[in-house]
A and B are shown apart, each in its own frame.
Chain A
Amino acid sequence: MGFEIEQPCVELSKVAVSETHGEDSPYFAGWKAYDENPYDELTNSSGVIQMGLAENQVSFDLLEKYLEENSEASTWGKGAPGFRENALFQDYHGLKTFRTAMASFMEQIRGGRAKFFPDRVVLTAGATAANELLTFILANPGDALLVPTPYYPGFDRDLRWRTGVNIVPIHCDSSNNFQITPQALEAAYQAAEAKNTKVRAVLITNPSNPLGATIQRSVLENLLDFVTRKNIHLVSDEIYSGSVFSSSEFVSVAEILEARNYKNAERVHIVYSLSKDLGLPGFRVGTIYSYNDKVVTTARRMSSFTLISSQTQHLLASMLSDKKFTENYIETNRERLRKRYNMIIEGLKSVGIECLKGNAGLFCWMNMSPLLEKKTREGELELWNAIVHEVRLNISPGSSCHCSEPGWFRVCFANMSEETLEVALERIRSFMERIKKE
C-alpha cells in the first residue's frame, strides 16, 4: 500500500502522506507473504514459516505459572480492592512499585554490575515510543543521529517520521564482525557535517539487532569517548539485554559509567522494554533510563502521549518485584534461548551456511553471500524472493537493515516451537542440496 493519492484539496500534512513510515520496504513485504499463507503444523504444513518476527515465545510457561499462583496481580483480588485507585492512576511518574521493580529487574539482568535508580526510570508505551521520544528531546528537525549498520528497520520510522530527524549510518562490515570502529564513527560524523547536518547523538542497540551479538567493552569505551569529544549524546537501546545467552558476556554502558564514577554520564540514555526479554510486546512496556535530570523531567512530561496502562503496570509491578520469580525467569529464559541458538547454528552449519558468531537476541545473522549470483542488493533480493516463495521461510534481508554487504539475512528462532524450527531447517537442507546439484 503506497501513498499514491491525488492531493485532496484539503491537504493532509506532509508527515501523513510521506513514506518515512518506512512500511514499503521488503521487511514488510515478507510479512505479506506470510499473512497470505501462514505455516501451521496441522492445517497448513507447507505454508510460509515466519522467521522474520523477533518474538520470544520460549518462556511463556514461566509467566503463566506465575499468573496462576498470583491471581491478584491480574484481577485485583476478590471484591477488586485497589481497582479504583488503579483505574484512576494516570500520573506520568508511573506506579512507584512498578518503577522500582523495573529498576531492580534491569539490575538483575546486568548481574548487579550496575545500579538503576527508580527515579530515573521514565515509562513509555513500548521502546518504539521511547526511541521516538528521546529523538524529540535530543534533536531538532533536520539534525541527525548516527546509527551503526546493519540496524533494525523500524528505526527508519521510529527515529525519523514525525521528528524530522535524519539517520546517518555508521558503516560496519564483516571484516571485523560488524563492530563499530573509530574510523567508521568519524567517517559518519564527517559525512553528516559535509551535508551541513548537525549530529546530536549516536544510537546503538546492545545487544545488536540484527546481529544477535553484544557490543564489546572496548567499543563501548570508545563510543563514550567519542560522544564526549563531540559533545553529543549516546542512546543505548538495551531491549535484548535479558536475552544474552551468558550473563557475563553482556557489558551495559551503565557499567562503564559506574566504573567512570558517572563522569559525563549526563549525555547517556538507556532504552529498555519487556517486549523481548519477557515476550510481552502486546502490553506496551518500555522505559527510558537517563542520567540527565533535564532529560528525565522532559521525557516524563512527554510520556503523557504514551503512558503504560495502569492495569498493566499493576500486573508487572507484582511480577517483577518477585525476586524469586525474576531470578529463575532470567536464568531459564537465557538457557532456553541458548539452546535454540545452538540448534539453528548447528543446523545451518551442517549444510554449509555460516552465521556471525552471536551470543544474544532472538535471531542469528546468517551469511548467504556465497550463494549470490550477483553480489549486489538486487542479487540479495532475488535470493530472498526465492527463500520466501520457494523455501517458504520469511527471513529478513540485510538490505532492509541497511547492511552495506549483500547476502546477509536475519533469521529468528524464538517465535516458534522446536518442531517448527526443525521443519525450517529441513527445508533449508533441501534447498541447499538443490543448489549444490545445479
Chain B
Amino acid sequence: MELVQMQKSLQDYTKSLFLDGVLDSQFLQLQQLQDESNPDFVSQVVTLFFQDSDRILNDLSLSLDQQVVDFKKVDPHVHQLKGSSSSIGAQRVKNACVVFRSFCEQQNVEGCHRCLQQVKKEYYLVKNRLETLFKLEQQIVASGGMIPAMELGF
C-alpha cells in the first residue's frame, strides 16, 4: 500500500474511533504531548494503561466472586479504572465505570457483575482498536513516512 494511502487509512480509522465515542478529546490531548523528543509518548502511556487495567479487572473479578462481596474493595478499583481510562480518553470504558460505581454504591452484586462484563467489553474493544491504530502508525513509520497530525474538524 502506498504511504499516502496508509496515512489516509490511519486518519480515517482514528476519526472513526472518535465518532464512535470510543475515544474522546483527552486522547487528542495526549497526542499533543507527543513530539520528536517523545515520539512514542502516546503508545507508552496507553501501554501502561493496558497493564494497569488488566490488573484491575483481574482484581475486580476476584473481588466480585467472593461469597460476600466487599464493596469497600470493589469501588476503589472501579474508581481507579475510571480515572485512568479518563486520562487516556477511553470514553466508553470511563462511562461504563461510572455506571459500575453507582451499582457499587447500591451494593448491588448482580448489577456489579453485569457492569464488570460491560466494562470488560468496552475495555477489550478500545484495547483492540488502539492496538490496531498503533500498528497502522508503525507501518507508516517503517515505510519512512510521518504520522499525520489529527485534524480536528469533525
Do A and B interact?
Answer: no
Which residue numbers of B lie inside 8 Å of A, CB to CB?
Answer: none
